[in-house]
Amino acid sequence: MARKIVVIGGGAAGMTAASTARENGAGDITLITEDEHVAYSPCAIPFVVEGKIKDFPSIVMHTPEFYRRERGIEVLVKTSVDRVDADAKKVITKDGRSFDYDSLIIATGGTVFVPPIEGRELKGVFPVRWISDGQAIMDWLPSTKQVVVAGAGVIGLEMAVALREKGKDVTVVEMFDQVVPRIMDKDMAHLVQAHCESHGIRFVLGSPCSRIEGEDRVTGVTAAKAHIPCQMVIMATGVRANLRIPEQMGLEIGPLGAVRVSPSLQPYRKGRLVPDVYLAGDVVMCQSAVLAGPTMSQLGSTAVRQGRVAGIRAAGGNATFPGTASPYVSVVGGLHVAGTGMSRSLAEYYGVRVAEAVVKGSSRARYYPDGKDMTVKLIADQESGRLIGGQIVGGEDVTGRVNWITAAILDGVSVNSFVERMENAYCPPTSMVSDTVNAAAEKLARVLRG
């Protein structure tokens, strides 16, 4: 009884779900997407703009034709879903076609949230989400000397560096009084900001863009009551879940503005699980592995992990998506910026009393040439001594280390246990004999002892 599957959405979550369903014995699989491309990583767009990656076609891993031929997945691009009839188990497209399903996967993703300010519709104002956005930014560049990036999250900073590399005069405007707000604490964020400033990027913090100026084309931005002239505005103001289809289906939306799901990635309607419907990616509200409360995890890696679970489930198999620590990494002008679990500021927002320790080390032994600074912050729950967060800013070899901290967080390891048990591999060209992560854990254990 191979199941007939419809997937709505062709991003990382949808494509992974479709491919995984295929590997797990699904029957017919139809994937419907509004985009003209599938299977690319929006995370790559800033690096194409910067010129690190050659062009946009190279970030598209596979074509619709590839999925049809190699994986037996029918991909309908530039196709909008009008509605889902969950009782009749049908998806109806805006062009009037109807697709029966045994299992439905909703991976409608998110859209850049553009705040409702004056001038947001002017020419020269761009979100960063689709390849078409990236291409539009590239096309607009020649007529631009000054750029304002609205939002100092990692995408905003990556875009700021990219445009600076292109010789533009770049100002980043951020509502919060720090870069990488919420997920990185101010002390660590300051290292990132200083690095960007050394690349010639200016910051206006603690104040949003209140107005975009211009007649037809953008000519400037107002922020912190000052006028910043510019010919381009990049909107890196966060992503909101695309809820049209879930709302039309009557699915329960969680307090963070995305669809509430069970560990099986099924949605709820009137308090009950909706059978044969699974969600994955930016449209989903996750459970925090640290707090067991709701959290958002709008990351490509999370989309893939959820897509895998949704695909297995949709095909009739068994898998679950448990709580998330949402590890992330970004490369901002050569600086690796990463974090996992809770930041101090977020933990305190949620009412958790925390202890923290910061250690500055190096990616190599002190005497080994070309070692890069590596600053590690670890955060513990004050009461239980459990490790709940980590942040790393460094010049190399950061990704594996943040995954390492993530493993400890997900396993509920206490700081004392980390100190006692967590061994590190050592070689002068790749680490200090006691890794900076271990040194941070030791310092945090001392802080917890008081």
The rounded distance, in Å, linking the Cα atoms of 211 and 227 is 9
**Non-local CB neighbours of 135 within 8 Å, separated by 6+ positions:** 56
> Quick one: which of 25, 36, 52, 132 contacts a copy of itself (CB under 8 A)?
52
Strand partners, 260: 285
* Total of residues contacting a copy of itself (CB under 8 A): 68
As measured in angstroms, the least distance from the Cβ of 118 to a copy of itself is 34
Question: Using the rule CB under 8 A, is 426 a contact of a copy of itself?
Answer: yes
Per-residue b or e along 6-22, where b marks 16 or more CB atoms closer than 10 Å to that residue's CB = bbbbbbbbbbbbbbbbb
- Site track 289-328 with a copy of itself (rule: CB under 8 A), x = hit: ----------xxxx-xx-------------xxxx-xxxxx
Question: Using the rule CB under 8 A, is 287 a contact of a copy of itself?
Answer: no
- Site track 402-421 with a copy of itself (rule: CB under 8 A), x = hit: xxx-xxx-xx-x------xx
Question: Using the rule CB under 8 A, is 366 a contact of a copy of itself?
Answer: yes
Kindly list the distances between the CA atom of residue 119 and the CA atoms of 116, 203, 213, 215, 229, in Å, as whole numbers in the listed order.
9, 21, 6, 9, 14
Residue 319 three-state SS: coil
> Quick one: which of 187, 365, 373, 447 contacts a copy of itself (CB under 8 A)?
365
Tell me, yes or no, if 43 is annotated catalytic: yes
How many CA atoms lie less than 13 Å away from 196 in the CB half-sphere? 34
Site for a copy of itself in 371-400 (CB under 8 A): 396-400
Backbone φ and ψ for 305, nearest 5 degrees, come out as: -65, -40
Question: Using the rule CB under 8 A, is 428 a contact of a copy of itself?
Answer: yes
The rounded distance, in Å, linking the Cα atoms of 240 and 113 is 6
Backbone φ and ψ for 391, nearest 5 degrees, come out as: -140, 140
> Quick one: which of 5, 6, 7, 12 contacts a copy of itself (CB under 8 A)?
12
As measured in angstroms, the least distance from the Cβ of 434 to a copy of itself is 5
Q: Which residues are annotated as catalytic?
A: 43
| Residues near a copy of itself, by CB under 8 A | 12, 41, 43-44, 47, 52-54, 58-59, 61, 299-302, 304-305, 319-322, 324-331, 336, 338, 340, 365-369, 396-404, 406-408, 410-411, 413, 420-431, 433-435, 437
